[in-house]
Chains A and B, each alone.
Chain A
Amino acid sequence: MSTLDQRSLLETISLTMRFAGLVAVSNFNLQLQKNELVGLIGPNGAGKTTVFNMLTGVYRPSDGKMILDDKPLNDLKPHNITRLGMARTFQNIRLFKDLSVLDNVRLGHHIHFNYGLLATALQTKHFYKEEASTQEHSLELLKIFDLEKYQDLQAKNLPYGAQRKLEILRALATRPKILLLDEPAAGLNHKETEELMQTIQKLRQDFDLTILLIEHDMKLVMGICERILVLDHGETIAQGKPKEIQSNPIVIKAYLGDGGGEAQT
């Protein structure tokens, strides 16, 4: 482990996930330093989302270790991992569709409120104070993406791009140290994607975040990531600076082999 040099915020050692014969991710090693913005790319089915699912406790790894801030994550439930400071978004948006936009963000604050059922039933001063500050925080977050005007709308009625943004805000509301974004630009047009990538960089600064970003279109992440890991069929086939990755023949081959074209588009 890297104890002498800078300590990693998140570290995985030989992380492996097998599904009934299929090795979805094998020997995945990652060291994430504080405040880094790292890209995880690879063709469809490469195992990127599976890495997120292991990190956040949705899947239990078949092998290997995950350590966040010196704490092993392997046996923790998803909600415990969130409390340790890691939040995520989903590739197929998972908002609370029937709840309001504001409630979606307020729910992100859930782990930070502290009043009991009795305070709820009696609506004590403490209850109002907590609710008021939660609301205030949530509205502030909504302003980041200009969504405060939609606060009372049901989340399912938001335009698609706004839904993706709302999901990021909900994750941010948990006040994570590490933010895992699973294809945040999927389904967005060129201009929206551009804006989103800018905002992600700004969020990292403003919230002192460390970000791991999945993207299958490698061009999108070239501009903002300091480091990129490339997965193909569960194997880490390359890692390094965006420039190196772009010209790496193994990477190009992997992308071309995957039905082609994605490296160019």
Chain B
Amino acid sequence: MKKQILTFLIISILLFLGNFIVPAMMNPYLFMILIYCGINIIMGVSLNIINGITGQFSIGHAGFMAVGGYVSAAISFYVLMPLLSLFPSDNTILSLFFQNALFVASLLLGGLGAALFGYLVGLPSLHLRGDYLGIVTLGFGEIIRVIILNLDFIGGARGFTGIPAWSNFFWIYFFAVAVVMVSFRLLGSSHGRALLSIREDEIAAESIGIPITRYKVKAFVLSSFFAGIAGGLFAHFIGYLNPSSFTFIKSFEAIIIVVLGGMGSISGAIVAAVITTILPEALRPLQEFTRTDFRMVIYPLLLLTLMLTRPQGLFGNKELSDVLPFLKRKKSP
């Protein structure tokens, strides 16, 4: 326990320092890519809980991200900002602390909103298998988007503007680290093994007493909670939300991360999230040179080549610690 608190403090302090140093060190464009890396890590690692670890097939992850983003943005905009404006903004440490605490509350509420939808989607659809579940989740993602398009108080098709820009490097990577750590711990627990057993063989899992429906719902709830947090972080970084950011293309990006990294591998999802974020940007100079957008030809080709040469994904179902044993932690408190 003591060691855990120490690790937590060290990571927090490093991220806190990074929050001042990193943006100053790179140009805004590169910094933006770094921020997207963090958000995509959360998206990939969280979807991995459903698609990789539990072996279900969700293609509506962007829907959960949208719910989290819009819920937390609306709470910040309609409740927290008026609340903060009651107090004189004097930029003291105290008011900064206050603002960040409210931001975290807003993020968590957004996560809970997404988790609620995860529960609602999960419950009826989990008797469905494979493709059918995929279609239900895809439908869910699109329905959410259409609903948002028609809600005027959060901007509808125009987009939601004026969201306070409370998000930053610190919070995005703080939550990325948290989601990764929770995922690893999940995998090393009885809960995680139960999820894996569902992926392996549902009949055998039930035969040893695992309530598979309940565990599938748990996977959906946890995964959509994290996706909701990613949505909130995104909303408060850009300060603007538009339904077109959450089309099924966004869901597919998350799926690509999980498949490319290797189904079930958390390390794989992290690496793949970074690759899939950087690669399209790295190909951008090519566009200026050729005057046509070849990126969407080359990017899929690169992915295709990778999947053909390594169909099991970059990491298969292994973790970094399997490749580099010294990373393995001893199993004791």
Residues of A within 8 A of B (CB): 56-58, 77-79, 82-83, 87-88, 90, 94-99, 103, 106-111, 113, 115, 117, 120-125, 127-128, 130-132, 134, 170-171, 173-174
Contacts and interface: CB of A to CB of B under 8 A. Distances in A.
B191 interface: yes
B209 A96 contact: no
Nearest to A113: B190
A127 B191 CA distance: 11
A117 B222 contact: yes
A99 B193 CA distance: 9
5 contacts: A90-B207, A110-B210, A117-B191, A121-B181, A130-B190
A123 B333 contact: yes
Contacts of B196: 96, 99, 103
B143 to A, nearest CB: 28
Contact of B189 (A57, A82, A99, A120): A120
Contact of A56 (B205, B207, B317): B207
Interface string B172-210: 000000000110011011111110110011011111111
Contacts of B181: 121
A24 B332 CA distance: 52
Given A58-B203, A82-B207, A94-B204, 20 more contacts: A58-B207, A77-B211, A78-B203, A78-B207, A79-B209, A79-B211, A79-B212, A90-B207, A94-B201, A96-B197, A99-B200, A111-B208, A115-B189, A115-B190, A120-B186, A120-B189, A121-B185, A124-B1, A131-B190, A174-B208
A114 to B, nearest CB: 9
B206 A99 contact: no
B331 interface: yes
A125 B331 contact: no
Interface in B1-55: 1, 4
A125 B333 contact: yes
A174 B209 CA distance: 8
B54 to A, nearest CB: 13
A72 B166 CA distance: 58
A87 B332 CA distance: 32
Nearest to A58: B203
A122 B331 CA distance: 14
B122 to A, nearest CB: 15
Nearest to A57: B206
A96 B201 contact: yes
Q: Is the interface of A mostly helix, strand, loop or mixed?
A: helix
Contacts of A88: 207
Nearest to A103: B193
Contacts of A83: 209
Given A110-B193, A117-B191, A171 B4 contact: no
A131 B189 contact: yes
Contacts of A87: 207-208
Contacts of B186: 117, 120-121
A82 B212 CA distance: 13
Contacts of B211: 77, 79
Contacts of B200: 96-99
B197 A120 contact: no
B208 A82 contact: yes
B236 interface: no
A168 to B, nearest CB: 12
Contact of B210 (A79, A97, A132): A79
A56 B212 CA distance: 15
Contacts of A170: 208
B61 interface: no
B216 interface: no
Contacts of B145: none
Contacts of B205: 96, 107
A101 to B, nearest CB: 13
B208 A128 contact: no
Contact of B317 (A98, A108, A130): A98
Nearest to B1: A125
A131 B190 CA distance: 8
A107 B208 contact: yes
B333 A128 contact: yes
Contact of B204 (A95, A115, A173): A95
Contacts of A107: 193-194, 197, 205, 208, 210
Contacts of A111: 208-210
B197 A131 contact: no
A134 B190 contact: yes
A88 B204 CA distance: 9
Contacts of A134: 190
Given A58-B203, A131-B189, A121 B182 contact: yes
Most central of B181, B185, B206, B208 by chain A CB within 10 Å: B208
Given A122-B4, A128-B333, A94 B208 contact: no
Nearest to A106: B193
